[in-house]
Structures are given as structure tokens and as C-alpha cells.
A and B are shown apart, each in its own frame.
Chain A
Amino acid sequence: MRMRKTALAVFVATLAIPALAPAQQISEQRIINGLGKLQGAAPIVDVELLRQEAMNGSGKQMSGLPNWSKVARLPQMVVEIAFANDSVAIEPESYRTLGMIADALHHPNLWAYKFLVVGHTSSTGSDEHNLDLSQQRAEAIKEILSTTFAVDASRLYAVGVGEYFPIEGSKSEAANNRRVQLYNLGVFTKQP
């Protein structure tokens, strides 16, 4: 009986804070559920403006910035991807996570949507370097999803925010370095 209670408590906790759950718990199903809960129409988001805001918004909360605050309300998922130190190269240990994201994006529940990949870095190194590195990391993920895993590239947007938006629950340098966020940007309309 006690075991069942504990299991229930864990289950309820998982429901309450999906974004902060440890990355090893991610599965294709969780990505589909986490990213699929789009209520109503998503706002129009300009990725270039997001980049500018991230660059100029050092030290501010995401929710205090006009464009990022719109993004912050969208369904999102945090995944951990192991990059080689100070590099865009992803360690083979994280291939599975990338494959799971690809499986989820190919599922009918999500295939009508477009997604924003947000790359982060640790705070070691200069701001400018970190911003570049995080941008390249987000783009590397977009490239992998759209080539190796055949997700339509026009469904994917990549933006790097360097060290600017630390997220609660992943305070260590190592965790920040691995953090990648995915946001559901709403219905994808194919360009003519």
C-alpha cells in the first residue's frame, strides 16, 4: 500500500512540473504530450526579434521581455543534450534523445506544428562567445532533425540565448550547458 502511495505521489509530481523532470525520464510519449498541449492559436513569433531581445536582455527574466514572454506561454519541453565542451558536437550518448525528439515530431499529434529549438550554454566564457555557441548548437540540432531524421526544415526554428535565461531547477554549470528547450510555435502552414 505504501508503495502504491509513493508511486501515486511521483505520478502527481510529474504531472505538476513536467518541465523540471530529469531528462532521463523523457520518452517519445512525454515529448508528444508535453509539446502537444497548445491551447488556442499560438502568437506570431519573430525569431530574429527573439535573438535581439536575448542579446540585449542580459540579466532580465524571460517573462519581462515582450517577445520572449509570448514564447514563455507556449507548450515547452526541456531536454538535456550532451555537447562536447565548448563545441557543437553532440556526444553519441545523446543520440537517443535526438531520435526521440524526431519520433515525436513525426507523430500525427505533432506533425502539423512548427517548433523553436532554443540553445543554451553555461556562463563560462564571454557573453558574445556563448551567444554564438548556443546559436550554433540550436542550429546543429535543427540540422540533425531535418537531415538525418527527415523533419521538414521549414517547421524548425533555431535560436541561441547563451547564458541569458537560466532556468530554475538546473542550476549547475554542467546542466545549463546541456539544456535545450523545444517550444511549440503553432500550426505550420506550408509555403507555396
Chain B
Amino acid sequence: MPRGWRLIGAAAIVIAWTCAAKADTISYADAVTVLAKDCGADIKKLCKGLNLGNNRIADCLAQNAGKVSPTCTSTLASVAASIQKREQAQASYSKVCAGDMARRCNGVKGDGYILACLIKTTKHVGAQCNQAISDAGWR
């Protein structure tokens, strides 16, 4: 294969892979940024003085469902779902990647260094573990 094509092919794989990984889960920061954007006006109007903690904002918006904008209502549901998805991905990482850690990063100490080792050896790490790391948002 000519070198140019090979490069384009490689780039296409990287782009496809990045997109696939991104579509799966989003960060807490991105999730609540959407919430602030789509529900910010409703929160300021209907939930003055309340905080995100202990579900207070979500409860307040639910109690005022009739007055909340339709965009905010649908955003609220998807934000809750994506936060949950990210949580699950992070919780599954240690188990899903246990085998790869033992095979590829044996002797590496510290969770941060083990993760760095798995990311460095991505090509040799199993698909499930790679997916778990992407879904956890740690790339």
C-alpha cells in the first residue's frame, strides 16, 4: 500500500475510534454544562437558592414540571443517564482490566501509573479494557 494511503487509513481508524469512544459516555463536567445551558434559566427562576447536591435541583425541576421548558425536561433525563453511565464505566474498570494489568503492567505500583501503563500499551491491551478506559473518560 502506498505510504499516503496507509496514513489516511490510519487516520481514519483513529478518528473512527475516537468518535466511537466519545459517543459512549461524557464527563461529569460536560453533563452539567449541558444542564446549565438548557436548564440554567429555569433553575434561576424556579429553584432559587437551591444546590445540585442531594438531587435538590432535579427534584425542584420535577416539582415544577409544568413550568419548566421542554428542552430542559429532556436534558435533565439525559444528564442523569450519562452521569450514571460514566459511573458504571469507572466502577467496572478495575475488574475489566485486571487481566491486562497483570499481563502488561506487572510490577507497576500506584493506580495512576497502572492506568498510564495500560494507555501506553493500548495496542496490546484487550478491546474490553480499552473500551472501559475510554468510557471512564481517562484517555
Contact = CB atoms under 8 A, between A and B. Distances in A.
B1 interface: no
A51 B49 CA distance: 25
A20 B126 CA distance: 42
Contact of B33 (A95, A106, A112, A147): A95
A49 interface: no
Nearest to B43: A92
Interface in A129-184: 140, 143-144, 146-150
B52 A103 contact: no
Nearest to A97: B29
Interface in A84-98: 84, 87-93, 95-98
A10 B112 CA distance: 28
Nearest to B29: A99
Nearest to B138: A107
A99 B32 contact: yes
Contacts, number: 87
A40 interface: no
Nearest to A149: B28
Given A36-B112, A92-B36, A148 B55 contact: yes
B52 A95 contact: yes
A89 B49 CA distance: 5
Interface residues of A, number: 33
A103 B39 contact: no
Interface string B68-105: 00000000000000010001001000000000000000
B114 interface: yes
B49 A93 contact: no
B53 A84 contact: no
A112 to B, nearest CB: 6
Contacts of B115: 108-109
Given A92-B35, A149-B28, A108 B43 contact: no
Given A92-B40, A103-B29, A84 B49 contact: yes
B51 A90 contact: yes
Interface centre among A88, A89, A97, A150 (most CB of B within 10 A): A89
Interface of A: 28, 36, 84, 87-93, 95-100, 102-103, 106-112, 140, 143-144, 146-150
14 contacts: A88-B49, A92-B43, A93-B36, A95-B35, A96-B33, A98-B32, A98-B52, A99-B27, A106-B28, A107-B112, A108-B114, A109-B112, A109-B115, A144-B53
Given A99-B30, A147-B53, 14 more contacts: A91-B44, A92-B36, A95-B52, A96-B29, A97-B29, A98-B52, A99-B27, A99-B28, A99-B32, A102-B29, A103-B29, A112-B111, A147-B54, A150-B87
